[in-house]
Amino acid sequence: MRYSQIRWQCRRGMRELDELLLKYFEETYLAAAEDEKTAFHELLALSDPQLKAYLMGGDETGQAAKERIIKQMRN
């Protein structure tokens, strides 16, 4: 997937999600390991309410790579 396509997927309907996703993408994504890149793509495929529950509500994904990304986004 191209950089511009991934960046576009980071733009959601909620400002809070936009900011968290775009910050991770612009600051961390390119240097991330392949398993984290895959996990990030899986997060982007989620609905906004589910993504919000993970990023802001404290719900757990049950997958280590996703949890690492979420932890980075929260900090």
* Structural domain count, the chain: 1
Residue 71 CA to residue 37 CA, distance in Å, equals 15
Residue 50 CA to residue 34 CA, distance in Å, equals 23
Q: Domain containing 70: what range?
A: 3-74
Give me the pLDDT at residue 13, please. Answer: 84
- The pLDDT confidence band at residue 45, using thresholds 50, 70 and 90, is very high
Summarised one tens digit per residue, pLDDT across range 4-42 is 999 999 999 899 999 999 999 999 999 999 999 999 999
Give me the pLDDT at residue 6, please. Answer: 94
CATH number, domain at 47? 1.10.150.250
Which pTM value belongs to this model? 0.90
Average pLDDT over residues 41-49: 95
